Amino acid sequence: MTPALLFILFLSMADVSMVSFLKWSFDIKLHFFPLIVLYGDIAEPKTSSRNADPCTAIGCKWPKSGRYVNVPYYISSDYSEYERNIILRGLQSFSLSTCIRLVPWKSGDRDYIYIESKDGCWSYLGRQNGGQYVSLAKNGCLYQSTVQHEVLHALGFNHEQVRSDRDTYVRILFENIEPGREFAFEKKQTNNLGTPYDFNSVMEYRNDAFSKNGKPTIVAKCNPYMKFGNAENMSANDILRINKLYECSE
């Protein structure tokens, strides 16, 4: 079956939900469809419980083949060569420091990510069954850090500020959050893989994400004036988590 046909089939299943989250902190748009729960820029089927998200213990990890974890990708032909190269550099960055290998989709690959410029930057959390969108809008998502962020969601990782231990490190100022966006700050039962909370993670929101009044929505307990959430590349902890979750050294 061709990627295009699979793609149409995937669309026709209609379990598509989209959250637009330009540079993952702004301009969120929600399109609700049945059976979907939304977490910031994560589109998540309701049937799956998903940092490493709990789902990684029950099947949403990508399978290992020998020493590597191959994640097939298909990039929409709508991107220019320049845009495609930005995406490719982001995908290839995983192979520099982890056992994750983003590989071109080929016939017979059942599970894969389909990268397309939809309405914002978003991804499903963890491996789904079949093709799954990763949206990287041309206007706002074509940065290496954003490509890494959305692929990390697809690998099963949640946002830093929803970690199970986040209350030790940050205070969420719900009074400054835009009404209706509170869900993106709800704490989750995550597997933190023995790694510390990391303000330099590409999975960390900006300290003023979804602010309704310009005031901070996330404050670091160690330094209330700290600005964060502008990582341009995966941090050492982001890399360590991938390597631990996917047992890259084995």
By CB under 5 A, what part of segment 43-82 binds Zn ion?
A: none
Compare residues 67 and 187 and give the one whose CB is closer to Zn ion: 187
| Encoded amino acid at 182, one letter | E
Choosing from 10, 41, 53, 93, the residue that interacts with Zn ion (CB under 5 A) is 41
Residue nearest to Zn ion (CB): 41
The answer to whether 208 contacts Zn ion (rule: CB under 5 A) is: no
By CB under 5 A, what part of segment 20-39 binds Zn ion?
A: 24
Strands 68-75 and 64-65, by their bridges, are antiparallel
Q: Residue 126: helix, strand or coil by DSSP?
A: coil
We find the least distance from the C-beta atom of residue 184 to Zn ion, in angstroms, to be: 9
Residue 178 is among the residues annotated as catalytic for this protein: no
31 is in an annotated binding site: no
Whole-number Å distance between alpha carbons of 74 and 165:
35
Whole-number Å distance between alpha carbons of 158 and 34:
22
Q: Residue 121: helix, strand or coil by DSSP?
A: strand
Q: Residue 86: helix, strand or coil by DSSP?
A: helix
Compare residues 41 and 53 and give the one whose CB is closer to Zn ion: 41
Q: Residue 170: helix, strand or coil by DSSP?
A: strand
Q: By the criterion CB under 5 A, which residues form the site for Zn ion?
A: 24, 41
Residue numbers in the known binding site are 149, 153, 159
Active site residues: 150
